[in-house]
Structure 1
Amino acid sequence: MKGAFKSLSVAMVKGFVRDKATLFFTFVFPLMFLVVFGLLFRDAGAEKLKLGAVGDGPVLAALEQSGAVELERFDSLDAGVQKVRDGDLPGLVEATGTKVDLRFAASDQAQAGLVRGIVAGVTQELNIRATGQPPRFEFTAAQVEDASLKPIQYLTPGILSWGIAVTAVFGAALTMVNWRRKQVLRRLRLAPVTPTTVLSSRLSVTIGVAIAQAIVFVGVALLPVFGLRLSGTWWMSIPVFLSGILAFFAIGMLIGAFTKTEEAATGAANIVVLPMAFLSGTFFPIDAAPPWLQTVSKVFPLRHMNDGMMDFLVRGKSAAALVVPCAVLIGFTLVVGFIASKVFTWEDS
């Protein structure tokens, strides 16, 4: 059986390497997303909030010193208000003597709330200082994560997980459909080769390709232009990584079991993987989605793989964080794998 396993694995690897389209969609296509998003959001968070300013005084000085605001000075109030009305600025601060007026654009509620909060906070702090009395409540703020974290830290785990999902699902589904259509599975069934050997050889190739993907992805993200920094517990992402491969391999086997042609398998795989990517936080933080959508996303294995990979590649969590993602992914593998085994056929009926 070792000879059969080796022969099947070598045949699958050769077929994979010779297929230029497969190589492109396995490595280049998902890597394009990493590069594009990594470059687009490389300096995210570095820009200051820009506000218009008319007049002078301690409030405007304090806003500039805060480091969060950049002021654009105007000689006349009307000119500044017009900029706000046109949508070029989120707000305008007019400081005359002891009076501070804020004019803001209500069309963007999130931006308006941010502007009001910053200006009101600075004004209130100066009012407290002016009384000469010590503040009754002490407030401190600190970032819980490393100050050096960049968007690439969050993009890499999600896009890597999605790339692995694509490889596992498409690889398993298309191989099974192609081999069934060309009656390769029928010949294997008649040969002294067990189903376990066929599946394990396909799975071993999938794992090998996924490892190559991970090395390429992380290697590119570590380049100075992106600046990825792995946490001290990055190696603990390996169980999540392997569990994710198994889960999506099972999905691919299920799709390959009930589809008859490569076109149908490709369409079914896209219907499963692509929406899952958008609903699992691959391209944008799922925490920003509505609560109901966050709840729905927990049904998908990609959400748990994304979270698990990020917990260890970025957040440096302990081994306790392995329980939920690995349990969900392994459970998903067992259920979907069982269903796939029941509907699988060696040849088209």
Structure 2
Amino acid sequence: MSLTAVREAPTQAKGKAYAALVKALGRGWLRDRSQVFFTLLLPLMFMVLLASVFGSSADSVSRVLTVGEVPVLDAADAGDFDVTAVGDLDEALALLREGEADAAVVQDGDAVTIYPSPTSSTSGSIATGKLSALVDQVNVEVLSAAAPGSPVLDAEVEEADGGALRPIQYLAPGILAWGIAIAGVFGAAGTIVDWKRDKLLRRLRLTPASVKTFLGAKVSVNLLVAIGQTAVFLAVAALVFGLELSPWTWFAVPLVMLGTLAFLAIGVVIGGIAQTSPGAAGLSNLVTMPMAFVSGAFWPLALSPTWVQWLSYLSPMRYLNEALQSVVVYGAPPTAVLPQLGFLAAFAAIVALISWRTFKFDEL
């Protein structure tokens, strides 16, 4: 046997061991009904339920953006609108997409153009109704004054970005991000606790498969699950609820893979702390559920209190949610989500380093 063949033999053996482990761990995941339920079915049920009954509650004061001078608002009551002036229409539409306002208004002479929120159809419709009623009120006052030659305002409603977004168009990315978090955190934490209890990694040292090979196979299975999860979510959202997928939807795959690595790192930390499976499940739930509410998974983040919005900057789920929404719904190219990618990569690296330095595989 040549020297090259001798060197390639261990590599081939490791490759076969890795493939066998991926296959075995994948089958084990499919046979574990609890993992299938919490990873796939539970988030999918949330998406279907919320997309069917979701509705935004509107405040008594509608948040309105004005572009230039809008004299018609001078006739509004003080408590009807919270008015903010912006520089141009593009800025106003961008703020509407982010959920920062309920409507935008532009007035050019007698023409009043109203742009309702594309993020919340309920609050946008309420604000549009108030503004249209205000225009009608001003017209009635002008006519009743019987002033010759007085102009009559004409209100027109323009849908921002070609149409108001339906709930599914911001629920699907958010709940998908939550599902990725559940799969990563719960899967890693519970598995690590079981490994410590059974002293599995210690026993692996006596087999041809190294600990690194085993861990690599486990991470690979989680990444494959995340890709399948993404495909199922987007298929249901598109086929059942009519979600229009952008041409950049394929970039959701690398996004969820990077997000999975970040949440796996959190799960490893929890697995190192917890000593029992119920303890791991409780800590995982304590992390993922508040993170979902803080990160805008169930409603636009801009509708949350200011302190929640500030807290969300620490959550990796916020950045995964924003990136998915940008490429899947808005059709933004990958270059537009580089900040989110950078945060997810840095978060995954830092938390993984912490867990690697502090983790003990054996039972405590």
Residue 146 and residue 239 in structure 1: after superposition, are their counterparts in 2 closer, same or farther (change >3 A)? farther
Residue 274 and residue 120 in structure 1: after superposition, are their counterparts in 2 closer, same or farther (change >3 A)? same
What CA deviation, in whole Å up to 9, does each residue of 1:67-86 have, x standing for no partner?
xxxxxxxxxxxxxxxxxxxx
Residue 207 and residue 133 in structure 1: after superposition, are their counterparts in 2 closer, same or farther (change >3 A)? farther
Query: Match for 2:185 among 165, 169, 172?
Result: 169
| Deviation of 1:141 (Å) | 5.8
Residue 14 and residue 237 in structure 1: after superposition, are their counterparts in 2 closer, same or farther (change >3 A)? closer
| Deviation of 1:313 (Å) | 0.8
| Deviation of 1:286 (Å) | 1.0
What CA deviation, in whole Å up to 9, does each residue of 1:175-195 have, x standing for no partner?
121122112111113434444
Residue 196 and residue 126 in structure 1: after superposition, are their counterparts in 2 closer, same or farther (change >3 A)? farther
Query: Match for 1:220 among 213, 236, 252?
Result: 236
What CA deviation, in whole Å up to 9, does each residue of 1:253-291 have, x standing for no partner?
111122221111111111111110111111121110122
Residue 127 and residue 261 in structure 1: after superposition, are their counterparts in 2 closer, same or farther (change >3 A)? same
> 1:37 maps to which residue?
50
* TM-score (structure 2 length as normaliser): 0.71
* TM-score (structure 1 length as normaliser): 0.73
Residue 168 and residue 132 in structure 1: after superposition, are their counterparts in 2 closer, same or farther (change >3 A)? farther
> 2:356 maps to which residue?
341
Unpaired runs of 5+ residues, structure 2, are 1-13, 59-123
Report matched runs for 1:1-349 at 5 Å.
Answer: 1-41=14-54, 117-127=131-141, 131=147, 133=149, 142-147=158-163, 149-223=165-239, 225-349=240-364
**Farther off after superposition, 189-198 or 20-29:** 189-198
Residue 239 and residue 112 in structure 1: after superposition, are their counterparts in 2 closer, same or farther (change >3 A)? closer
What CA deviation, in whole Å up to 9, does each residue of 1:227-264 have, x standing for no partner?
11112322233332221111111111111122221111
Residue 135 and residue 39 in structure 1: after superposition, are their counterparts in 2 closer, same or farther (change >3 A)? same
Q: Is the CA contact (8 Å cut-off) linking 2:194 and 2:277 kept in structure 1?
A: yes
> 1:91 maps to which residue?
none
Distance (whole Å) between structure 1 residues aligned to residue 173 and residue 46 of structure 2: 12
Residue 133 and residue 333 in structure 1: after superposition, are their counterparts in 2 closer, same or farther (change >3 A)? farther
Q: Is the CA contact (8 Å cut-off) linking 1:156 and 1:217 kept in structure 2?
A: yes
Distance (whole Å) between structure 1 residues aligned to residue 148 and residue 140 of structure 2: 10
Distance (whole Å) between structure 2 residues aligned to residue 186 and residue 239 of structure 1: 33
| Deviation of 1:152 (Å) | 0.8
Q: Is the CA contact (8 Å cut-off) linking 1:44 and 1:151 kept in structure 2?
A: no
Distance (whole Å) between structure 2 residues aligned to residue 182 and residue 155 of structure 1: 40
SS in 2 for 1:299: coil
Q: Is the CA contact (8 Å cut-off) linking 1:189 and 1:346 kept in structure 2?
A: no
SS in 2 for 1:282: coil
The structure having more radius of gyration, on CA atoms, is 1
SS in 1 for 2:162: coil
Which amino acid is the alignment partner of residue 210 of structure 1? A
Q: Is the CA contact (8 Å cut-off) linking 2:230 and 2:253 kept in structure 1?
A: no
Distance (whole Å) between structure 2 residues aligned to residue 27 and residue 151 of structure 1: 20
Residue 208 and residue 120 in structure 1: after superposition, are their counterparts in 2 closer, same or farther (change >3 A)? same
Which amino acid is the alignment partner of residue 313 of structure 1? V
Percent same amino acid among aligned pairs? 37
Residue 111 and residue 35 in structure 1: after superposition, are their counterparts in 2 closer, same or farther (change >3 A)? closer
SS in 1 for 2:335: helix
Which amino acid is the alignment partner of residue 250 of structure 2? W
Residue 324 and residue 131 in structure 1: after superposition, are their counterparts in 2 closer, same or farther (change >3 A)? farther
Q: Is the CA contact (8 Å cut-off) linking 1:42 and 1:152 kept in structure 2?
A: no
What CA deviation, in whole Å up to 9, does each residue of 1:268-321 have, x standing for no partner?
111111110111111121110122211111110001111110011111113332
Distance (whole Å) between structure 2 residues aligned to residue 113 and residue 20 of structure 1: 46
SS in 2 for 1:232: coil
| Deviation of 1:150 (Å) | 1.8
| Deviation of 1:200 (Å) | 1.4
Residue 145 and residue 16 in structure 1: after superposition, are their counterparts in 2 closer, same or farther (change >3 A)? same
Distance (whole Å) between structure 2 residues aligned to residue 153 and residue 305 of structure 1: 15
| Deviation of 1:140 (Å) | 6.9
Distance (whole Å) between structure 2 residues aligned to residue 184 and residue 124 of structure 1: 76
